[in-house]
Amino acid sequence: MTNIVIFASGNGSNFEKIMENIEAGYLSGINVIGLYTDNHEAFAIERARRFRLPVHIFNRKSFNDKEDYETAVLKQLTRDQVEWIVLAGYMKLLGPTLLNAYPGRILNIHPSILPSFPGKNAVGQALSYGCRVTGATVHYVDSGMDTGKIIDQMSCPVYEDDTEETLQLRIQNLEYELYPRVINKIIQVRSSQ
Ligand code: GAR
């Protein structure tokens, strides 16, 4: 079994889909130790409770700086014997404390075909740019904003009458397929090496 945690700051629908895949037996070698969040109001917390998963809330404002904050997170990760970190709508850049502790073992999902539209509101950016195709990317995490090595991508069309909501829904449906698939491939294979 490979111990992973999910980091989420908000809604948590990708987190829930990962859990559903585990319950369905698709991600059989993966053990989700808990949900880590930086937002005590994240709906992801509600979802974690439904799966009876431990939740750890780290409020950045309770710490002097990012290093202190990440040191506290790392302490809990070590206690939980976590091997991989899976970011699913975690809206903070990771600093050296976490990056150095988990080299090549942090994944992120982003709602665009990177390197286009990194950062916030990738869906709105693709729409206002007039893209006819967009999608989702899973990549390793480095110190940049959605800049780490790309692992896999899926694409979808953008229609004339799309709004941010309709396009986001289409992209999220890609994400629900893409993330479990990548987790299955990368984490299971690399953990067994
Ligand atoms: C997802 O679409 C994810 O790709 C995006 O946040 C959403 C979270 O949704 N992440 C980023 O934009 C990271 N730069 P969820 O909380 O419902 O899983």
Q: Tell me: is residue 121 an annotated ligand-binding position.
A: no
**Model ipTM over 0.90:** yes
What is the residue-wise DSSP string for 108-159? EEESSSTTSS-STTHHHHHHHHT-SEEEEEEEE--SSSS-SPEEEEEEEE--
CA–centroid distance, residue 53 to ligand 1 (Å): 20
Q: Tell me: is residue 9 an annotated ligand-binding position.
A: no
Residue among 45, 114, 175, 176 whose CB has most ligand 1 atoms within 8 A, to mutate: 175
In whole angstroms, what separates CA 20 from the centre of its chain?
15
Ranges of residues in the chain with a pLDDT under 70 are 192
Q: Is 98 in the pocket of ligand 1 (CB under 6 A)?
A: no
Q: Tell me: is residue 17 an annotated ligand-binding position.
A: no
Domains contained in the chain, CATH given = 2-191 (3.40.50.170)
pLDDT score for 169: 98
pLDDT score for 187: 86
pTM, two decimals, is 0.97
Q: Is 31 in the pocket of ligand 1 (CB under 6 A)?
A: no
pLDDT score for 28: 85
Give the residue among 183, 15, 188, 146 at the shortest CA–CA distance from 88: 15
For residue 86, give the 3-state DSSP assignment.
strand
**Separation CA 142–CA 164 (nearest Å):** 28
Residue 133's identity, in one-letter code, is V
Strand partners of residue 150: 139
Q: Is 14 in the pocket of ligand 1 (CB under 6 A)?
A: yes
Question: Alpha carbon of 78 to those of 4, 81, 102, 154: distances in Å?
Answer: 11, 5, 11, 33
pLDDT score for 43: 98
